[in-house]
Amino acid sequence: MISGSTSMKVLFLIVILCGCTNKSPPNPTDTIFKQEKDWEFLYARELSNALLHEDDLAYYFFWPLYLKARYENKLKASKKTVSE
């Protein structure tokens, strides 16, 4: 016969392993963005904070991302003026 303590451990283990299961895997379509983010602005703010707090690693991390976002915004702006 199983003692009370052991049966509680087995029950607890069963609840932990089987109680919280995901019915379906998540899909990219499950995430819906409400608005487009201004990444250039966000990266500029992160660069400003990195300079303020003298965080060199954060600055070097966000600098290429900022340049990429700025370049993409420039392309969007130039495509708008060409199409008009």
Whether residue 47 lies inside any domain: the answer is yes
Please give the distance of CA 23 from its chain centroid, rounded to a whole number.
23
Q: Which domain holds residue 60?
A: 36-78
How confident is the model at residue 42, as a pLDDT? Answer: 96
Whether residue 72 lies inside any domain: the answer is yes
Label residue 21 by pLDDT band (50, 70, 90). low
User: What tokens does 59 get?
Assistant: 């600055």
Half-sphere exposure of 64 (CA within 13 A, CB side): 3
pLDDT in tens, 28-78: 777 777 777 899 999 999 999 999 999 999 999 999 999 999 999 999 888
Whether residue 67 lies inside any domain: the answer is yes
How confident is the model at residue 20, as a pLDDT? Answer: 64
Whether residue 61 lies inside any domain: the answer is yes
Whether residue 24 lies inside any domain: the answer is no
**Cβ neighbours of 43 (radius 10 Å):** 20
Whether residue 46 lies inside any domain: the answer is yes
Whether residue 13 lies inside any domain: the answer is no
Whether residue 43 lies inside any domain: the answer is yes
State pTM to two decimals: 0.58
**Cβ neighbours of 62 (radius 10 Å):** 21
**Phi, psi (degrees; rounded to nearest 5) at 54:** 55, 45
The number of distinct structural domains making up the chain is 1
